[in-house]
Amino acid sequence: MKLTETKLADCFLIEHDVFKDERGLFLESYNKAAFEKLTGLKINFIQDNISISKRGVLRGLHYQSPPYEQAKLITVLKGEVIDVVVDIRKNSDTFGTHLKFRMHADERKSLFIPKGMAHGFLALSDEVLFHYKCDAYYNPASESGILYNDAELQIDWEFLDEAIILSDKDKELPNFNIAPK
C-alpha cells in the first residue's frame, strides 16, 4: 500500500498493492494495521455503503454535521468518476478549498476523507459501482450538504451542467456560504 498526501490535512490517496496472474488479480482493499501505520490515524470503520450510478449522476456534496461527522474511505469498484472533497473545517488552513480526483476502477486506488469534509462524485461511465467505508453511522438528522455548482467553490465537474442528474434533495442544497458547518 502506498499513501500520497494531499493539500488537505489528513486526506490521503491510497494506491493498493495488486497481485496479477493468468487467473486475474487480488488486492487487499483495507488493512487496519497497515492503514494506521501509514497514516498515523486510528479509525474504526463501522459501516460500509455501496451506490450504483449511471452516467451523469452527481451525488453530493454531502456531509454530516457535528457530532455525527463521518470519516470515509472511498473506492470506485467499477467505472470512472470525478470525486470532489471540500474542506469545511472552520479552523483549517484550507477551509473552503476543494480537491478533485478522477478515479477509475482499473487504477485500484482509494481516497481517505477525514471528518469535516463535504464529499461528492459524478459518474463518468455508463455504470459506476462506488464503495465507501464510514467510521460513524448515518444520522438523517445531521445530514447536510452544499450545492454542487456553488459559485464560490468554482468546482469544474468537466461535464455539461444540463446533462447532470441530481436527486431532488441535492437540487435544494444551500450554497457554501450559508451551509451549516
H-type helices in 7-139, by residue range? 32-39
Active site residue 62: yes
The active-site residue out of 62, 63, 119, 148 is: 62
The active-site residue out of 63, 98, 132, 148 is: 132
Cα(144)–Cα(63) distance, rounded to whole angstroms?
Answer: 5
- The burial class, CB within 10 Å (0-12 / 13-18 / 19+), for 167 is exposed
Count, residues in the chain: 181
Cα(126)–Cα(112) distance, rounded to whole angstroms?
Answer: 25
As beta bridge partners, residue 82 has: 102, 122
Cα(102)–Cα(144) distance, rounded to whole angstroms?
Answer: 24
Active site residue 98: no
Task: 16-21: list long-range contacts, CB under 8 Å, 24+ apart.
Answer: 16/108, 16/109, 16/110, 18/108
Q: Catalytic residue positions? A: 62, 132
